[in-house]
Structure formats: structure tokens, C-alpha cells
Homo-oligomer: A and B are copies of this chain.
Amino acid sequence: MTIKKINHVAIAVKDIEAALDFWENKLGLKLDYIEEVPSEASRVAFIPIGDSLIELVQPTRDDTGMAAYLEKRGEGMHHLCVEVANIDETFNRLKEQGVRLINTEPQVLPGRKMAFIHPKAANGVLVELYELTDNK
């Protein structure tokens, strides 16, 4: 199966610690860890839920896409990350089919490869494609 699962649902938040009051203290999920991602000017809280994650993403600068999103639309679901077995195959197939993509090719990062499908191609949903490249 090419598509494995929902890897995560990302939620744009203004303040991770404030947001954790709901997701942890109220709803009862458990934070795994918080990662600082200077390259994307953000902090991310990873919260396991079943076989997936909820990721709370907080911009750390005002000049990022995520900060602009928060300013315009407020807090809320930001993107849906779909984990695939082979991102190059999925990406090339989408490209050949004329699906509007944000990246020109999958980005290679430690432990994963990723690319975004444009929300105009996916019913307003920013879809992230993800392939885990460790432990294969």
C-alpha cells in the first residue's frame, strides 16, 4: 500500500504551553516532546494519538508563512500529513497528473523526505506528504 496513514495533523497555535493546557490537561493526551525548528522559525509539540500525532506548531518569528496564517485565520488546523511508502513515486505520479505542488521536488531532511501539495488541488487542505527514511 502506497499510503500508510495519517502521520500527523498540524495545528497552528500562538503559544504551545498555553495550548497544552487543553490537549494535555483537559483532553488527556500526553506530550512526547517539544522541538525547536530554527530553520522553519517554529517550535513543534509532538503529541501521540493512536498511530498518529497531533503537532502543535508555534511560529517563533512574525515573517513566516505560519505567522501569516495565524494572523489571517487565527489558530486552527493547518495541514494534514499523509505518510507514504515511497514519496518519489507518489510525488512523480502527482506531478505527471498535473496536480499543483508547492515543492519542485521532495525535500530531504534527517529521517524523512517531505513535500506539500497545494491546497487549491486538495479541497482547501494543505496536504503534506511524508516518507520516513530511518529504520527501513
Contacts and interface: CB of A to CB of B under 8 A. Distances in A.
A22 B77 contact: no
A124 B80 contact: no
Contact of A50 (B23, B51, B94): B51
A74 to B, nearest CB: 5
A19 to B, nearest CB: 5
Interface stretch (A25-33, A34-42, A106-114): A25-33
A74 B4 CA distance: 28
Contact of A49 (B6, B27, B49): B6
Contacts of A123: 11, 13, 19, 22-23, 56, 75-76
Contact of A90 (B28, B117, B127): B28
A97 interface: yes
Nearest to A4: B50
Interface in A5-27: 5-6, 9, 11-13, 19, 22-23, 25-27
Nearest to A78: B77
